[in-house]
Structure 1
Amino acid sequence: MTAVRIDALAREFGELVSTVDSEDAVALVERALDDGADPMAVLVDVIAAAQRRVGFRWQRGEWSVAQEHAATAVAVSATEAVTRRARLTPAARGRVVLACAEREWHAMPAMIIGGALRGAGWSVTMLGAATPAARLTQYLHDLGPDVTAVSCSMPGALPATRRIIEASTADGIPVLAGGPAFGTDSARADALGATAWAPTAREVAQVIAGLPPVVPAVPPLPAGPANEQASLELDHEALAATLLRQWSPGPDWLAADIKDVVDLALHCVGAALLTGDARPLPDTAAWVSDLLTSRGADNTTAGELGEQLAHVLREYPLARNLVTAHWA
C-alpha cells in the first residue's frame, strides 16, 4: 500500500474514531490488511497516530474523559484486529513478556508494540497496564521468557519501571524499555539499568533481536537520589495534601482533576531524581500549562504550582533544587 493510501486510510480511520464507530473501524483495518497494507504502518501511522490525536483533544479540553475513553476503545479494537492477523506469522524467534510499570495505565502503546513483535515472529505475553514487579516476577518464573519489554508513557511510572528492571535482570533476563516517558534518547533507560531502549515501535523488533541472552543484575542506583525518591514516595499523600491546600487552578475545577495534576507533578520529581535527568520537569510544566490554560486557567497557574512544589519539598534538598532550577 502506498504512502498516499496509508494517509487516506489514516484520515478515514480518524473519522471513525471520532464518531466511535468501532465496527466500521475494525472492518476498515481488516480490508486494508487484505489489500496488502503493511501491518506496521497500520499500527504506527494509522492507529497510533489517531490515538495521539485523541490525547491532544482531551488535553486541550475539546473532549471529555468519557469521549477519550470511548475513542480509545475503538483504537484498542483495531489494534487487536492487526494482532490477530500477526498471529498468522509463526512464533519462532522466542518469547517476550510485555508489561506496563505500576502507575502506567496507558496500555495502548504496549498493545501496539505487542502487535509489532508478534508480526516479527515473537511469542508475546501481554501483562497489561500497571503491572506490579511482584506479579512480573511470578510470570518470569512461570514462563521463562527470553526478554522483558516494558512500556512507560508517564514519567511518574519510571521509578516503578526500575523495579521491573531489577526483577527481570535478577533472573538474568534482558530488558527492553520504550515509551514517551523515556524521552527522545536512551539516557533515562540507561540510568534505570535497562539493557536497551527502542525509540519507536518500528525499531523494537530490530533492537530486541540484538539483545544478549543473559544479563547481570543491575547495580544499585546512586544512594542519595534513590533514598530521597523513596522518601518522596512514602510521603507522597502528605505532600499532595499540602499542595492541594496551597494551590488550585481555580474554583471551576473538580477536586479529582486537581489531585491528578498534583500527583503528576510530584511523581515527575521522583522520576527526575531517579534517572538523573531533569528534562521531565520542564516537559511536565509545559504539559500542565497547556492543560490548564486550555481549560481557562490563568497562564501563570502552572508556574505557581512549581513555586508551591518547591516550597513543600523544602525538606528534600535534591528534589527542591531540581524543581527550582528546571520547573519553568
Structure 2
Amino acid sequence: MSTAVAEHAERLWNAVTTGDEYTAGDVVVQALGAGTDPESVLLDVIGAVQRRVGQEWAANRLTVAQEHAATAINDRVIATFGYLLKRPEPHLGRVTVACVDGEWHAMPARLLSEVLRLRGFQVDYLGAQVPAPHLVAHLHRTGPDAVALSGSLATRLPTAHATITACQATATPVIAGGAAFGHDGRYARLLGAEAWAPDARAAADRLARPLPRPHAGHQPLDDLPHLADQEYTLVTRSSGRLVKTVLAGLAERIPAMRTYTDLQRQYTAEDLAHIVEYLATALYVGDEELFTGFLTWTAGILTARGVPAASLVPALELLEAELRDFPRATGLLRAAHTRLAEPAAGSELSA
C-alpha cells in the first residue's frame, strides 16, 4: 500500500469513527481527484477501514453503535462512485452478487459489485439476506453467467449449501467468498461451489474466465455423507431445549447468575444459542476447527470485555452432558474445552 493510500485510509478512519459523513465523502472525492486508482480507493481505503472497524469492535475499542455508524457511512460513501466515475460499458458478462439468506454483513458483496462494474461486468447487486427462492427467480429472469455468493457468518453455511445447489439447478455456476467459507475456501469446496476467491480482486480475476458449468443431478448430501448420522438435524431441532437446560444448569453452578437481571439472562441465553448454533454448523460441515475457532474467538471477545474466558467451560460441560449420546458433538465439545485450556486462548484481543 502506497503512502498516499495509507493517508487516505487514515483520514477516512478518523471521519467514520467520529460520525463525520461529509468529511468521509470528501476523502474519497479527493483520493480520486489525486489520481488514486478507483479500485484501490474501494478496497485499500474503504475496505481497509471497514476491516479495521470490525477489529476495533472485537477489541472493545468501538461500541456497537460506532461500528454500525461507521459501516453506514462507508456504505453511503461507496454510493458516490456512481456519480464520480464513468464506468466502462459492460463487456465481460453478467454477474449476480448476493448475500446468503440470514447474512446481514453486506459490505464485502457491495465492494465486489463495484469492483466488477469497474472491470466491465454487468452486475445485479441484490444486497443482504437474499432468500434462495427469490435468488433463483432472479436467475431465471436474467440468466447471468455466474452468481457471486457472499457469507461472513459461518452459521449460515447450511443455508449457503442449499442456495448453491439451487443456483446450480438453474445451470448457473457459483463463486463463493467471505469469511464464512473459510480462510482457504475449504467450505466453498465442500459445499460444491464451482469457485472460491479470498477477496474482491481475486474474484474479479476469476470471473474474467468462464466458470465450469454445474454437474447435472448433483445432490447436497453427495457432499456431506457424514450427515447420515442425523446429529446435525437432532441438535438443530433441540437447540431451544439445550439453551434452556444449560441456562438452568449454569444458574446452579454459578451463584452470581441467580441475581442476574432479565436483560443479563437474555444476553446469556443469546450467547448460549450462538454456541449451539456453531456446534450444529460444525456438525454439518464435519470440521472441528470451525467450532474450536469460534470458541477461541469468543474467548477473546470476552477477555477484551473483562469477562474470564473460563466462564465458557461450564457451558461446554453442561452441553456435553446433554449430548452424551452424540459422539461427534461430544468430540467437538471436548476439543473446544481443550483449546480453551491452552494459555493463548482469549489472549489475542486483550492486548
TM-score (norm 2): 0.85
Supply the distance in 1 between the matched residues of 2:109 and 2:86 (Cα, whole angstroms): 16
- Would the aligned equivalents of 1:98 and 1:114 in 2 still touch at CA under 8 Å? yes
Supply the distance in 1 between the matched residues of 2:267 and 2:124 (Cα, whole angstroms): 33
Q: Residues 42-68 of structure 1: CA distance to partner in whole angstroms, max 9, x if unpaired? A: 222211221122222322323322221
Supply the distance in 1 between the matched residues of 2:19 and 2:227 (Cα, whole angstroms): 45
Q: Does 1:238 align with 2:241?
A: yes
- Would the aligned equivalents of 1:173 and 1:213 in 2 still touch at CA under 8 Å? no
Supply the distance in 2 between the matched residues of 1:83 and 1:171 (Cα, whole angstroms): 31
Aligned-residue offset at 1:256: 4.5
- Would the aligned equivalents of 1:175 and 1:196 in 2 still touch at CA under 8 Å? yes
Aligned-residue offset at 1:282: 2.0
Aligned-residue offset at 1:41: 1.6
* Mapping 1:146-157, distance limit 5 Å: 146-157=145-156
- Would the aligned equivalents of 2:226 and 2:286 in 1 still touch at CA under 8 Å? no
Supply the distance in 1 between the matched residues of 2:237 and 2:77 (Cα, whole angstroms): 40
* Mapping 1:234-313, distance limit 5 Å: 234-247=237-250, 251=260, 254-313=264-323
The letter for the 1-side match of 2:231 is E
SS at the partner of 1:125?
A: strand
* Other-structure match for 1:180: 179
Q: Does 1:48 align with 2:10?
A: no
Aligned pair in 2 of structure 1 residues 127, 230: CA closer, same or farther (>3 Å)? farther
Aligned pair in 2 of structure 1 residues 50, 198: CA closer, same or farther (>3 Å)? same
* Other-structure match for 2:129: 130
* Other-structure match for 2:347: none
Supply the distance in 1 between the matched residues of 2:98 and 2:170 (Cα, whole angstroms): 16
* Other-structure match for 2:345: none
* 1:225 aligned residue (227, 236, 242): 227
- Would the aligned equivalents of 2:292 and 2:332 in 1 still touch at CA under 8 Å? no
* Other-structure match for 1:26: 25
Aligned pair in 2 of structure 1 residues 315, 133: CA closer, same or farther (>3 Å)? farther
Aligned pair in 2 of structure 1 residues 79, 267: CA closer, same or farther (>3 Å)? farther
- Would the aligned equivalents of 1:103 and 1:156 in 2 still touch at CA under 8 Å? no
* Other-structure match for 1:322: 332
Q: Does 1:101 align with 2:100?
A: yes
* Other-structure match for 2:348: none
* Other-structure match for 1:168: 167
TM-score (norm 1): 0.90
- Would the aligned equivalents of 1:86 and 1:118 in 2 still touch at CA under 8 Å? no
Residue range with higher mean Cα deviation, 81-90 or 316-325: 81-90
The letter for the 2-side match of 1:225 is L
- Would the aligned equivalents of 1:159 and 1:270 in 2 still touch at CA under 8 Å? no
Supply the distance in 1 between the matched residues of 2:116 and 2:269 (Cα, whole angstroms): 36
Pair member with larger Rg? 2
Identical amino acids, percent of aligned pairs:
34
- Would the aligned equivalents of 2:175 and 2:194 in 1 still touch at CA under 8 Å? yes
Residue range with higher mean Cα deviation, 257-266 or 173-182: 257-266
Q: Residues 194-217 of structure 1: CA distance to partner in whole angstroms, max 9, x if unpaired? A: 111001112011112234362225
* Other-structure match for 1:203: 202
SS at the partner of 2:287?
A: coil
Aligned pair in 2 of structure 1 residues 45, 260: CA closer, same or farther (>3 Å)? farther
The letter for the 1-side match of 2:194 is T
SS at the partner of 2:309?
A: coil
The letter for the 2-side match of 1:185 is D
Supply the distance in 2 between the matched residues of 1:268 and 1:85 (Cα, whole angstroms): 42
Supply the distance in 1 between the matched residues of 2:324 and 2:127 (Cα, whole angstroms): 37
- Would the aligned equivalents of 1:58 and 1:65 in 2 still touch at CA under 8 Å? yes
SS at the partner of 1:130?
A: strand
- Would the aligned equivalents of 1:13 and 1:46 in 2 still touch at CA under 8 Å? yes
Supply the distance in 1 between the matched residues of 2:319 and 2:239 (Cα, whole angstroms): 12
Aligned pair in 2 of structure 1 residues 256, 202: CA closer, same or farther (>3 Å)? farther
Aligned-residue offset at 1:280: 1.4
* Other-structure match for 2:76: 77
Aligned pair in 2 of structure 1 residues 256, 91: CA closer, same or farther (>3 Å)? farther
Supply the distance in 1 between the matched residues of 2:266 and 2:61 (Cα, whole angstroms): 19
- Would the aligned equivalents of 1:54 and 1:71 in 2 still touch at CA under 8 Å? yes
SS at the partner of 1:92?
A: coil
Aligned-residue offset at 1:86: 6.0
SS at the partner of 2:126?
A: strand
RMSD value over aligned CA atoms?
2.3
Aligned-residue offset at 1:150: 0.8
SS at the partner of 2:47?
A: helix
* Other-structure match for 1:61: 60
Structure 1 residue ranges without an equivalent (≥5): none
Supply the distance in 2 between the matched residues of 1:145 and 1:310 (Cα, whole angstroms): 46
* Other-structure match for 1:190: 189
- Would the aligned equivalents of 2:295 and 2:336 in 1 still touch at CA under 8 Å? no
Structure 2 residue ranges without an equivalent (≥5): 340-351
* Other-structure match for 2:214: 215
